[in-house]
Structure 1
Amino acid sequence: MPPTITPPRPADLVERTARALARLRRGRLLHPAGRSFAGEVVVWDTPGPPTGVRLLDLPDRYPATIRLSKGTPTPGSWPDVLGLAVRVHRPTGRPFDLLVSSSAAAPVLRQLPLPRRRFAGTYSSIMSYRAGRRRLWLAALADPDAPDLGRDLASVARADAPRLVLAVASATGSWRPFGQVILGDQLDAREDAALAFDPVGNLPEELRLVGPLRWLRQHSYRGSRRGRGAGAQSGGSMGVTV
């Protein structure tokens, strides 16, 4: 009787493929070109109804690690899906890894990644979060009083104390600003290469990522991290694995 061959599970196939590609390119599978910075996240409070997530609703200040990147990457200032990753270092527990992509501000378009030339503009979580019965989207918006981030990664690194506004919204509601991301000193290339994010696992206790792409994101990011020998909480502005 011939042996039974069990086909690989879809999750294993995605993870193995991502791991092999990351190992082949010796770096990140997604958003390989970027600049990382030490910084700070300042939470004011949430205007209107609270979200039920303490980190978003209660005023506080947190050390942060911030990375701006190009998705493909295209040359120079060519259009690309731009990315912003923010690791909020909390006093206890896991950090909060917020990953947002260039998009539009309107309710329907905030759920789609949109290529653009400039690093200033709206970055949306694209996928939604659940906080109890609430469904939320998170975003980083341009701060009209902050320096322009420019059209390429070099101009981002040269900007003088850039910052972005953090905001939350429902599926059809307008963005409600609740805080600020402030970029500080740029990290060196070795620190940038070591930094790894986990947008599915590194979340506040009251928040979880949902939507049809959650599964794909979880396994592709895990495979990419393993392919380059990084952990889910590697790197960060504190100079150690947090």
Structure 2
Amino acid sequence: MKTFPSALSVPASVAGAGLAGAAFGLAAALRRFGTKPLHPRGVVVEATLTRHGVQSGHPSSGVEWIDEPGRDQVLVRMSRAVGLPSAWPDVHGLALRVPMDGDAYADVLLASTGWRGLSRFVLTASRRSTSRPMTTLLPYRSSSGPLLIGAETMDRGTRLRLSWATRLGPWQPFAVLELSSTEGPDPAMTFDPVLHPLPGLENYAWVRRLREPAYATARASRSD
């Protein structure tokens, strides 16, 4: 078990990029005088990520970390994108920090979206984080083509099923995430999937261009 050293189709991709860009810009504008342009407040908890590997009769993603069984002790941050009061609908975020070899780690960020067809590229808002599925919204580049990661709540909001899909293909479950709690502190840390992608998954150049300004602002706010 690994632990931390310390505590698409082209139209769909374009649609997702436009929606994400608009969301990033709106959140940054609303939070321009705050410390973070996105997800200003949240909760960080420990969790166990159990990857069961490729199941009989199911396709392989071509990404070793997804296809091979394993268990990781990860950090999870749950947050609301704009930081609106809990009584208001907001886009929910789920950030994973996965330990790699040595002191390295990878970050995965998911946001509340639809799940079927093109809706997986559409941000959705709700009052409760458990009421909507989540996806990476924008695809990674993989050996199998554009690939997304998604999460669905299984029960009580403390267990989530992780799946992967290519373009508009069916979701393929590959892991279960078990949260230690849904309450906790919010230490000063920045999850950055641009700087720290999972092995075997690359950010497309247009995804990096879209996301980099928001993450650069977040990095700067953490260094002040």
* Corresponding residue for residue 175 of structure 2: 179
RMSD: 2.2
Query: Does 2:42 match 1:31?
Result: no
| Counterpart contact for 2:88–2:127, Cα < 8 Å | yes
* Corresponding residue for residue 135 of structure 2: 124
Q: What is the CA deviation profile of residues 164-220 of structure 1, one whole-angstrom value per residue up to 9, with x for unaligned ones?
A: 11000111211111001111156853xx23121111121233111227443121232
* Corresponding residue for residue 233 of structure 1: none
- 1:57 and 1:92 mapped to 2: Cα distance? 21
- 1:52 and 1:93 mapped to 2: Cα distance? 25
**Which aligned pairs between 1:224-235 and structure 2 lie closer than 5 A?**
224-229=218-223
Q: For structure 1, list consecutive stretches of 5 or more residues without a partner in the other structure.
A: 1-13, 150-161, 231-242
- 2:87 and 2:147 mapped to 1: Cα distance? 31
Residue 105 to residue 186, structure 1, CA distance change in 2 (3 Å): closer
* Corresponding residue for residue 165 of structure 1: 161
- 1:182 and 1:98 mapped to 2: Cα distance? 16
Number of matched pairs: 193
When normalised by structure 2's length, the TM-score is 0.78
| Counterpart contact for 1:128–1:137, Cα < 8 Å | yes
Identical aligned pairs, as a percentage?
28
SS of residue matched to 1:116: coil
* Corresponding residue for residue 69 of structure 2: 59
Q: For structure 2, list consecutive stretches of 5 or more residues without a partner in the other structure.
A: 1-23
Query: Does 2:215 match 1:221?
Result: yes
Query: Does 2:150 match 1:142?
Result: no
Q: What is the CA deviation profile of residues 113-138 of structure 1, one whole-angstrom value per residue up to 9, with x for unaligned ones?
A: 11122211310100001112421111
* Corresponding residue for residue 153 of structure 1: none
Residue 186 to residue 197, structure 1, CA distance change in 2 (3 Å): same
When normalised by structure 1's length, the TM-score is 0.73
Residue 49 to residue 92, structure 1, CA distance change in 2 (3 Å): farther
- 2:36 and 2:124 mapped to 1: Cα distance? 21
Q: What is the CA deviation profile of residues 120-163 of structure 1, one whole-angstrom value per residue up to 9, with x for unaligned ones?
A: 131010000111242111111121xx21x3xxxxxxxxxxxx11
| Counterpart contact for 1:94–1:203, Cα < 8 Å | no
**Which aligned pairs between 1:41-52 and structure 2 lie closer than 5 A?**
41-47=49-55, 48-52=58-62
Structure 1 residue 110: deviation in Å?
0.4
**Which aligned pairs between 1:2-13 and structure 2 lie closer than 5 A?**
none
Structure 1 segments, 4+ long, off by >3 Å, are 185-189
